[in-house]
Amino acid sequence: MTSAHITRFCLIRHGETDWNGEKRIQGHIDIDLNAAGEAQARELRRGLSEHSFAAAYSSDLLRAWHTALIATADLAIAVSPAPTLRERHFGVLQGITSQEASVQRPDVFHHHRARTPDYDYENGESLITFRGRVMAGLGALAERHPGQSVLAFTHGGVLDIVFRAATGRALDAPRDFQLPNAAFNWLEHSGDGWRLVSWAECGHLNRALDEVLE
C-alpha cells in the first residue's frame, strides 16, 4: 500500500471536565471543560505546533469542541463538526457516577461492567451500534482524505472502539489500555484496515486523567 492511499489520524480525547474528576458518566450530556481541561487544551496547542494536518474535525459536544478550538488556534485549518465522533449514549446511566449506578440500577450496571455488546442502557446505544457509528464516520473521513493527515477531537468511548478495531480486541474484552484526557493517539487507515502507530502520548501534558474504568 503506497502512502498516497494511507490516511494518518491523530485522535485526541477532550480536555478534563468536572464530571471526569467525579467519575460521573457524561455520554451525550453537554459538559464544558474545567480550568484543568482548558490548560490541557493549551498544552495541546503547543504540542500540535510541531505537526501539520490537512483537516481537523471534532465531536459537536462542547467539551470536545472547546478543546479543538483552543488546541488548533495556531494551525491554518478550521475545525469542522463531526457528530459521528460523539461519545456513546449511556441511556439511563448518564449524569450519575459509577458508584451511584451500582446502587440505583444494579441491573444496568451489571451490563455496563460486563460490556454486554448488544445492551443499550434502555434508551441509549449498544456497543455494536456505537461501533458502527464510529467506524463508519472515521472510514468516511479516511475516504475524504487519502494520503493526508487528519486531526480529530473526540471522547474516551470513541477511542476505546478505535483501539479495539486496530488491535483486534473484542468489544466485551476488559480494557487494558489507557484513554487519558488530551493525549495524542496516532493511527493509520488503508485498504488493509486500521493500524495502531502510537497510543496515549502524554509528554506535552502536566496532567491527564484516564477514562473511567468502571
Mean pLDDT of 113-130: 97
Mean pLDDT of 121-127: 97
Widest pairwise Cα distance in the chain: 53
Q: Does any domain span residue 174?
A: yes
Among the options 16, 43, 87, 188, which is catalytic?
A: 87
Rounded to the nearest integer, the mean pLDDT of the chain is: 95
- Chain segment 149-206, per-residue pLDDT in tens: 999 999 999 999 999 999 999 999 999 999 999 999 999 999 999 999 999 999 999 8
CATH number of the domain where residue 19 is located:
3.40.50.1240
How far is residue 126's CA from residue 46's CA, in Å, rounded to a whole number?
37
Q: Answer yes or no: 66 catalytic.
A: no
Q: Does any domain span residue 65?
A: yes
Mean pLDDT of 57-61: 98
Q: Structural domain tally of the chain?
A: 1
How far is residue 193's CA from residue 214's CA, in Å, rounded to a whole number?
29
Q: Does any domain span residue 106?
A: no
What percentage of the chain carries pLDDT values higher than 90? 92
Mean pLDDT of 104-132: 97
How far is residue 32's CA from residue 162's CA, in Å, rounded to a whole number?
24
User: What's the gap between Cα 16 and its chain centre?
Assistant: 12
Among the options 14, 66, 145, 204, which is catalytic?
A: 14
Q: Answer yes or no: 155 catalytic.
A: no
Give residue 184's domain range: 13-90+127-190
pTM: 0.95
Q: Is 148 exposed, middle or buried (0-12, 13-18, 19+ CB in 10 A)?
A: middle
* Residue 213, pLDDT score: 39
Across the beta sheet with 184-190, the strand order is 79-81, 55-58, 149-154, 7-13, 184-190, 193-201
Q: Is residue 79 classed as helix, strand or coil in its secondary structure?
A: strand
Nearest to 9 by CA among 146, 132, 130, 136: 146
Q: Does any domain span residue 119?
A: no
Mean pLDDT of 123-151: 97
* Residue 214, pLDDT score: 32
Q: Does any domain span residue 204?
A: no
